Amino acid sequence: MTTSNADLRDWVDAVAALTKPARIHWCDGSDAEYQGLVAEMQKSGDLIALNQKTYPNCYLHRSNPSDVARVEHLTFVCTNDRDAAGPNNNWMAPTQAHQKMDELFAGTMQGRTLYVIPYCMGPIDSPYSRCGVEITDSAYVAANMKLMTRMGSAALARIEREGKFVRGLHSTGDLNPDRRFIMHFPEELLIQSIGSGYGGNALLGKKCHALRIASWQARQEGWLAEHMLLVEIENPAGERFYIGAAFPSACGKTNLAMLIPPESMAGWKVRTLGDDIAWLHLDDEGQLRAINPEAGYFGVVPGTGPATNRNAYDMIRHDTIFTNVALTADGEPWWEGKGDGQPAIDWQGRPHDAKNGPAAHPNSRFTVSARQGSSYSPLADDPRGVPISAIVFGGRRRELAPLVYQAKSWRHGVLMGAGVASETTAAATGTVGVTRRDPMAMKPFCGYNFGDYWNHWLSFEKRAKKLPAVFHVNWFRQDDSGHFLWPGFGDNLRVIQWITERCAAKVGARETPIGFLPHSTDIDSRGVDLKPGALDALLKVDAGQWRAEMASVATYLQEFGERLPAELLDEHRRVVKDLG
């Protein structure tokens, strides 16, 4: 196979001349091709078949123990002007980065297969979708891209029609962390990644394209590429609301997207459109609409159990690739929070011994096609996307941030998003549990200067006819003895109910300097196991603590100097003044 697109042909030829693969395979995206990749990886040891009776077509991949998460310190945005990347990104001059990467890629595919993977982010016939081509020497990446994206012939046909695509070059290299780099060249619509076979570093359609490069394109073209789940909420009256919610990695996006209503909320329905990324466009009527550019999930496995996320638990019973989970004695996958079975072999392939830590890696993942989920909405394939009613920001904060509060305006919502903070998780290499600013949950993913990014967000105020209401949630508040105050999971629908009622102007609220909060009687807590006083604690706004928080937000915002929009500072001053 080859292509009528000369740019693509020339690029593949140039990459092959540099990396010297033994053979070239153009991916057509067929099921037969997927089965071939799986068979090949079983032979090479890259995949281990799981118990085919209980987990049909499920496989385990063990990554190198030094390669289990995104590496933010090795991820760069290489723009001609350093300020374009901003203090929120690592920066390298494009010429220097190209020289470094050319040296690292030279001969790296010797003896290996070079896969050419054309893919489309978003429904194949949507004007909002964008295509890319990933070149990789990893069969694991090719198989994951088949599950995660619309990959193969149809995508190639669109590329040949449009003539435009994002290029992503990836090689697993020698997995030496000293020779590992994930480079983005937004001005060239180019990504180069070497030395890691892990998810966000290697599946270039996901964070690298659909967030870092897409956010850059989105600013130029007037839309938004965001780290958001997309979910449809239907109330018992049959009214539907579409919510985009931005939480950092491993903070429950997949769980919220697949939520199962608690028993006491009969008649409520939740349908999943996406669990990680949303692209938001203004339509001709000035309404913000969203598509999910992905077609599959790369979800955190630990904690996925019948009580926490039954939909995901059932979804990953077949046709799933597991990465870095443990094994039971009879060859089933096992992870902490699974709820049954016992680990026999840990994620590194050693006999399980609790002294070595968790049996499954805390950032172990499942890769699965979204079509397998029973809550998947057919609207995820609608080229027009869905109209967004509410945008929800959130983080993992044991104190301060209330269960839910609503911004007073779009501008206030942008400030709320810019001030998001969250405790770090195992999704990225580094210390876990440290609170850091993670604006709009985009700290690791915004492909340009956050100052310009907030300006772009603010610009929607002028361009849109009707903007979604903006909220902030925090499912992770703890009491003094370190217990969670809120049960989370399915019960989060009680908070979402309030959000939908606010969108429909059906419920009042308590006005505070940080935003509108529910009266505690407006959160339906029938049948919830809450400690006495918990709801009041969850909805408390402590002015002293918030003054300190706003001072810390100001210090953070000042890092962006002249690029920081004046409107954001004005809004910040307003909140501080109201706090007294």
Q: How far apart are CA 454 and CA 439, in angstroms?
A: 9
Considering the complex, state which of residue 137 and residue 276 has its C-beta at the smaller distance from Mn ion: 276
**Binding partner of residue 138 among Mn ion, ligand SAT, none, CB cut-off 5 to 8 Å per kind:** none
**Binding partner of residue 298 among ligand SAT, Mn ion, none, CB cut-off 5 to 8 Å per kind:** ligand SAT
CB of 543 to Mn ion, least distance (A): 34
Residues 183-222 interacting with Mn ion (rule: CB under 5 A): none
Considering the complex, state which of residue 226 and residue 332 has its C-beta at the smaller distance from ligand SAT: 226
- Span of 72-80, 179-187, 248-256, 374-382 interacting with Mn ion by CB under 5 A: 248-256
H/E segment holding residue 280: strand 278-282
Out of 150, 207, 281, 310, point to the residue binding ligand SAT (CB under 6 A): 207
Q: How far apart are CA 244 and CA 280, in angstroms?
A: 9
Site string for ligand SAT, 286-305 (x = CB under 6 A): ------------x-------
Considering the complex, state which of residue 115 and residue 216 has its C-beta at the smaller distance from Mn ion: 216
**Binding partner of residue 412 among ligand SAT, Mn ion, none, CB cut-off 5 to 8 Å per kind:** none
**Which is nearest to 143 in space by CA: 369, 363, 324?**
369
- Span of 73-81, 199-207, 282-290, 546-554 interacting with ligand SAT by CB under 6 A: 199-207
Considering the complex, state which of residue 366 and residue 560 has its C-beta at the smaller distance from ligand SAT: 366
Count of residues engaged in binding ligand SAT, rule: CB under 6 A: 8
Considering the complex, state which of residue 438 and residue 571 has its C-beta at the smaller distance from ligand SAT: 438
String of DSSP letters for 189-243: TEEEEES--SHHHH-TIIIIIIIIIHHHHHHHHT-EEESEEEEEEE-TT--EEEE
Residues 6+ apart with CB under 8 A from 229: 244, 245, 247, 253, 254, 256, 257, 274, 275, 276, 278
Q: How far apart are CA 62 and CA 151, in angstroms?
A: 24
CB of 69 to ligand SAT, least distance (A): 7
String of DSSP letters for 453-494: HHHHHHHHHHH-SBPPEEEEE-TT-B-TTS-BSS--GGGHHH
Sheet with 296-300, strands from edge to edge, namely: 48-49, 59-61, 321-323, 365-369, 296-300
- Span of 160-168, 200-208, 287-295, 314-322 interacting with ligand SAT by CB under 6 A: 200-208
CB of 240 to Mn ion, least distance (A): 25
Half-sphere exposure of 513 (CA within 13 A, CB side): 19
CB of 441 to Mn ion, least distance (A): 8
CB of 300 to ligand SAT, least distance (A): 8
**What is the amino acid identity at position 366?**
F
**Binding partner of residue 571 among ligand SAT, Mn ion, none, CB cut-off 5 to 8 Å per kind:** none
- Looking at residue 137, the DSSP 8-state letter turns out to be S
CB of 304 to Mn ion, least distance (A): 15
**What is the amino acid identity at position 20?**
K
Residues 275-304 interacting with Mn ion (rule: CB under 5 A): 276
Considering the complex, state which of residue 213 and residue 557 has its C-beta at the smaller distance from ligand SAT: 213
Q: How far apart are CA 370 and CA 320, in angstroms?
A: 11
**Binding partner of residue 411 among ligand SAT, Mn ion, none, CB cut-off 5 to 8 Å per kind:** none
208 is catalytic: no
CB of 77 to Mn ion, least distance (A): 18
Residues 6+ apart with CB under 8 A from 31: none
- Looking at residue 177, the DSSP 8-state letter turns out to be G
Considering the complex, state which of residue 248 and residue 261 has its C-beta at the smaller distance from Mn ion: 248
CB of 444 to ligand SAT, least distance (A): 8
Counts of helices then strands in the chain (DSSP H, E):
16, 30
Count of residues engaged in binding Mn ion, rule: CB under 5 A: 2
Considering the complex, state which of residue 323 and residue 377 has its C-beta at the smaller distance from ligand SAT: 323
CB of 249 to ligand SAT, least distance (A): 3
CB of 569 to ligand SAT, least distance (A): 31
Q: Are 486 and 518 in contact (CB under 8 A)?
A: no
Q: Are 22 and 124 in contact (CB under 8 A)?
A: no
Out of 249, 309, 320, 425, point to the residue binding Mn ion (CB under 5 A): 249
Q: Are 292 and 278 in contact (CB under 8 A)?
A: yes
The answer to whether residue 134 forms part of the interface with Mn ion (CB under 5 A) is no
Considering the complex, state which of residue 8 and residue 258 has its C-beta at the smaller distance from ligand SAT: 258
Out of 63, 249, 254, 422, point to the residue binding ligand SAT (CB under 6 A): 249
In this structure, which long-range contacts are made by residues 152-155, counting pairs with CB atoms below 8 Å and at least 24 apart in sequence? 152/27, 152/28, 152/29, 152/30, 152/33, 152/118, 152/119, 153/28, 153/29, 153/118, 154/29, 154/120, 154/124, 155/29, 155/118, 155/119, 155/120, 155/124, 155/131
- Residue 411: strand pairing partners: none
Considering the complex, state which of residue 301 and residue 499 has its C-beta at the smaller distance from ligand SAT: 301
**What is the amino acid identity at position 243?**
I
Given 78, 208, 251, 503, which residue is catalytic?
251
**Binding partner of residue 200 among Mn ion, ligand SAT, none, CB cut-off 5 to 8 Å per kind:** ligand SAT
- Looking at residue 519, the DSSP 8-state letter turns out to be -
Residues 56-85 interacting with ligand SAT (rule: CB under 6 A): 70
- Span of 45-53, 188-196, 249-257, 309-317 interacting with Mn ion by CB under 5 A: 249-257
- Span of 80-88, 272-280, 289-297, 337-345 interacting with Mn ion by CB under 5 A: 272-280
- Looking at residue 521, the DSSP 8-state letter turns out to be G
- Span of 198-206, 216-224, 310-318, 321-329 interacting with ligand SAT by CB under 6 A: 198-206
Comparing every residue's Cβ against ligand SAT, the nearest one is: 200
Q: What burial class does residue 32 get, using C-beta atoms within 10 Å of its C-beta: 0-12 exposed, 13-18 middle, 19+ buried?
A: exposed
Burial 66-96 (b: 16+ CB within 10 A, else e): ebbbbbbebbbbbbeeebbbbebbebbebee
Scan for tokens 């993670």, then name that residue. Answer: 438
Q: Which residues bind ligand SAT (CB under 6 A)?
A: 70, 199-200, 206-207, 249, 298, 427
Which residues carry out catalysis?
Answer: 251
Enumerate binding residues for Mn ion (CB under 5 A). Answer: 249, 276
